[in-house]
Chains A and B, each alone.
Chain A
Amino acid sequence: EVQLVESGGDVAQPGGSLRLSCVASGFKFDDYAMHWVRQVPGKGLEWVSLITWDGSFSSYADSVKGRFSVSRDSSKNSLYLQMNSLRAEDTALYYCAKDSGVKAAAGEMDYWGQGTLATVSS
């Protein structure tokens, strides 16, 4: 059974940093690209970032480019999102999601975690 478990959500001050983690199980983590998607409670989804299966390439939404950085550790079956220079508008539930394509990002996200809440407030 595929499982994705996020953690690391917390309260941070504007300008501060948070590091989110996502531990994957039930599939061959090394074969799949991974996404981060966020959602302000009660609002729509916003795609945040992609990292390829081998970690060689990453991409970001304009809203977070230059401030967020995605990485992965295959030895720990883990995905990370380093969030710097945080703003109030970064407050959201952050989901990690598995891409469906094997060794190539297909774009559709076939498994999702339950999310971790990051709050940016002074």
Chain B
Amino acid sequence: QSAPTQPASVSGSPGQSITISCSGTSSDVGSYNLVSWYQQHPGKAPKLIIYDVTKRPSGVSNRFSGSKSGKTASLTISGLQPEDEANYHCCSYAGSSTWVFGGGTQLTVL
């Protein structure tokens, strides 16, 4: 159960697009289309923003989108806004009713 790899930090200017990667293995990201993404502001609980690789829960902005290629899942945020500054965590099903989170990525909006 090793954690998928995420970049420690990414940054972008308002209005730009950024992509956060989540590199897993053939035991997790590479084997299941069960990747979710969570946004977490400082001192707050995580919030689900993407599930099943590409789906958005009701109420989540369509500026957030997800994709997957092989063992790497990605979260793209378009039209960056100041309130997008937060930590982002990927999570993948890892088989045998277990899940694994990535290490998290700090997004800075410049």
B-chain residues with CB within 8 Å of residue A114 when the two chains form the complex: 45
Is the CB–CB distance between A107 and B89 below 8 Å? no
Q: Does A95 contact B (CB under 8 A)?
A: yes
Question: Could you say which interface size class chain B belongs to?
Answer: 20 to 34
Chain A nearest CB from B45 CB (Å) reads: 4
Chain A nearest CB from B27 CB (Å) reads: 13
In this complex, what residue of A is CB-closest to B105? Answer: A44
Count how many chain A residues have C-beta atoms less than 8 Å from C-beta atoms of the other chain: 27
Q: Does B62 contact A (CB under 8 A)?
A: no
Is the CB–CB distance between B99 and A107 below 8 Å? yes
Q: Does A82 contact B (CB under 8 A)?
A: no
Q: Does A113 contact B (CB under 8 A)?
A: yes
Q: Does A89 contact B (CB under 8 A)?
A: no
Chain A nearest CB from B13 CB (Å) reads: 26
Chain B nearest CB from A41 CB (Å) reads: 10
Is the CB–CB distance between A44 and B101 below 8 Å? yes
Cβ contacts A93-122/B at 8 Å (1 or 0 each):
001010010000111111011110000000
Q: Which residues of A contact B (CB under 8 A)?
A: 35, 37, 43-47, 50, 57, 59-63, 95, 97, 100, 105-110, 112-115
List 14 additional contacts besides A45-B46, A47-B100; criterion CB under 8 Å.
Answer: A37-B101, A44-B102, A45-B40, A45-B101, A47-B98, A47-B99, A47-B101, A50-B97, A60-B98, A63-B1, A95-B46, A105-B97, A107-B91, A112-B46
Q: Which residues of B contact A (CB under 8 A)?
A: 1, 3, 34, 36, 38, 40, 45-48, 51-52, 57, 89, 91, 93, 96-104
